[in-house]
Structure 1
């Protein structure tokens, strides 16, 4: 089968032939990929930012946002059948540890993360687990929803955590309206009555944000922090969802948060440098967010299939993976880039 493989850091991946995976363990599921999302994390992986975290051995296959059709199942699989359309939670988990028992999938003591620390789904087939499969409604095209498996639940998970702070009359700033941010905007609109203010440096992204439910938009032109403070009577927002968190955006996000407010860090790549006195004197919170749980993904798919969350995508054939990564790096992708293998048609 064809797969997008990373052979060395700081170099472009290559599309090459590798053996197809097989279902060997009782709960194994092999999925024929219908769509694989292209994420900024893939760029960070290529830049070697994840080497120490993942411990992965090169070469391996990228791709952690995946959907498709069940191709083969292990002997104990009962929740899906061959031919079912599915979207995949990013991490196959054990189901037995304390984190799994609590529904906190992302902190499973024995999880793997295809596309991060093992072979991922930028390929024609992917080996995963029955525990990772969320069945889609008949007729749903996997390529239309694949990126909800990571970009979607990452945004939804953060919004879900912020909901108690976003009662009517509050303001939530969405910092960055790209692949994750545009899902965050829709999730906020579906789950809260907060005022949604979106900050982005790209006018096209702001136009899309307005279509998706933003009440106000602010161009990140160097004066955006002051603009947000002006919109909030000098106080800042109760919640800032930072989908950028690099190149200075992370400092801006904290500066846009009011006293007693919460700065949710969702994007990454930079460092946050905050004087401790600024944290204690204003009782502001800095909250980390790691993807989301299986239940987050199941809930998000309900919203998607109700039409309340729409994923905006640009489709590329699997052979054009390098073009998709380049377009993402250059800021040419509106929404999310999706790789579609020839076998998906």
Structure 2
């Protein structure tokens, strides 16, 4: 089969032929990929930012946003069958550790994360587990929903955590309206009555945000922090969802957060450098967010299949994976790039 393989950090991956995976263990599931999302994390992986955390051995296949059709199942699999349309939770988890038992499966102590620390889904087939599979309506096109498996679940997880803070009359700032942010806007609109303010440096992204539920849009042109403060009577927002968190955006996000407010860090790549006196004197919270749970993804798919959350995508054939990565890196992708084997 064809797969997008990383042979060395700081070098372009290659599309090459590798053996197809097979179901060897009782709970293994092999999925024929119908759509694989292209994520900024893939760029970070290529740049070696994940090497010390993942411990992966090169070469390997990247891609952690995957959906498709069940191709083969292990002997103990009962929740899906060959031919089922599925979206895959990013991690294959054990189900037995305290985190799994508590429903916080993204913190599983014995998980495998295809595309991060094992072969991923930018390929024709992917090996995963029964615990990662969510069965979809057979009419669903995997390429239409694949990016919900990471971009979607990550945005939804943050919004779901913020919902209790976003009662009517509050303001939520969405910092960055790209692949994750445009999903976060829709989740906020579907699940809260908060006023949604979207900040982005790209006018086209703001135009899209306005169609997805944003009440106000602010161009990140250097005066955006002041603009948000003006919109909030000088106070800042109760919640800021920072989908950028690099190149200074993370500092701006904290500055846009009101006293006793919460700055949710979802994007990554930079450092949050804040004097401790500024944290304690205003009681602002900094909240980390990692992917999301299996239940988060299942709930998100309910919203998606009801038409309340839709992905804006640009599709590429698997052979054009390097073009998709280059377009993402250059900011030419609105929404999410999807590879279709």
Counterpart CA distance in 2 for 1:135 and 1:277 is 49
Post-superposition Cα deviations, 1:158-213, rounded to whole Å, max 9, x if no partner, equal: 00000000000000000000000000000000000000000000000000000000
Equivalenced residue count is: 341
Q: Give the TM-score normalised by the residue count of structure 2.
A: 1.00
Q: Deviations over 1:82-134 (max 9, x none)?
A: 00000000000000111001010110010010000000000000000000000
Structure 1: give runs of 5+ residues left out of the alignment. Answer: none
Write the distance in 2 (CA, Å) between the matches of 1:51 and 1:251: 26
Q: TM-score, normalised by structure 1?
A: 0.99
Partner of 1:158: 158
State the SS of the aligned residue for 1:240.
Answer: strand
* Secondary structure at the counterpart of residue 49 of structure 1: coil
Matched with 2:103 is 103
- SS of the residue corresponding to residue 308 of structure 1 reads coil
Cα distance in 2 for residues equivalent to 1:144 and 1:251: 34
For residues 16 and 321 of structure 2, what CA distance do their matches in structure 1 show? 11
- Give distance in 1, aligned partners of 2:212 and 2:4: 32
Paired with 1:53 and 1:231, the residues of 2 have a C-alpha distance of 40
- What is the CA-CA distance between 1:138 and the residue it aligns to? 1.7
RMSD over aligned CA atoms reads: 0.3
Matched, 1:323 2:312: no
Distance 2:48 2:54 in 1: 10
Question: What is the deviation of 1:316?
Answer: 0.1
1:215-294 alignment, distance < 5 Å: 215-294=215-294
Q: Distance in 2 between matches of 1:198 and 1:303?
A: 21
- 2:70 matches 1:70: yes
Instruction: Provide runs of 4+ in structure 1 moved above 4 Å.
Output: none
1:295 equivalent in structure 2: 295
Structure 2 unaligned runs (5+)? none
2:103 and 2:132 map into 1 onto residues whose CA distance is 13
Q: How many angstroms apart in 2 are the aligned matches of 1:60 and 1:122?
A: 10
Matching residue of 2:182 = 182
Q: Measure the CA separation in 1 of the matches of 2:304 and 2:170.
A: 25
| Residues in 2 aligned to 1:12 and 1:225: alpha-carbon distance in whole angstroms | 37
